[in-house]
Structure 1
Amino acid sequence: MAPQALGSAAVMLASGRLLGRFGPRRMMLAGIALSVLGTIAFTQLGSGPGGVLLSLSLLIRGVGLGAATTPGMTTLYGSLERSRIPRAASAFNVVNRIGGSLGTALLAAILHNALTAAPPPAAFGTTFTWALALSALTLVPALFFPQRSSR
């Protein structure tokens, strides 16, 4: 997981400049596309992709996740009055944790079901295929993000 964290951290350091240059929508769409691209190798776990490829994929996925997170948070907080930001931060944190828990539970159920039908590497590949599809679906709401930051 270290390559994913490094990729995400690297983009987060440059996110302000990137957001100013490309705007929230393009940055979020590019981030989602990169995270989807970084997930593809994991869908092939049944055929044994190498560790170097998986590490590179994690790095790409991290860059994508970092690039997709920044415009979402910036757009959310930038659209609020200053006095409402603390409550919004709490609500955002709760929704983020609940969504993450539900997503994890869904993928765990898919993995459990896949393990009854296939050996572990292929079952993980199937589960990552679902994760890839769900990640790709996030492109739809990202299309509705503003082209430019509100502040």
Structure 2
Amino acid sequence: MGYIQDNLMPNEKVLFTANVHPAVFLPSVFSFVVSIGFVVYALMTGGKGDMTSGLLAGFLLLTAGWFFLFSIFLGVQALIILLTTEFAVTNKRVIANLQSSHSKERFQTVEMKRRLRHLRRYRTLYACPMVMAHRKAAS
């Protein structure tokens, strides 16, 4: 089971669960596309045969390599965030298990002062722009 199921209080029911949106991979994809662009431009520039275009092509390939490594780093970081983050709204509180790749801190719960009755009218609850919420099927 996950963090949320393991930390429910007695008589607490999960109303909504949410996952991180796959858009966290966009910076990685953008960096990869930029690296491909550098490689293509280097291949077009390097075929001219003079020394200046050869040096420029070498520099562009080196830059493409750095962008490619950076895209791998961003992709692994996004995968860690996607796999280790959990959100839930229960009938008593909001629970979030956020694992940051930069620190070991955990944001566990947010106590709600208002009743959650008015939230039940909506089909989707958006906790933040990078989160997709899903209504849990009635058990």
Higher relative contact order (CA 8 A, sep 6+): 1
TM-score (norm 1): 0.33
Larger Rg: 2
Q: Which is richer in helix?
A: 1
Q: Which is richer in strand?
A: 2
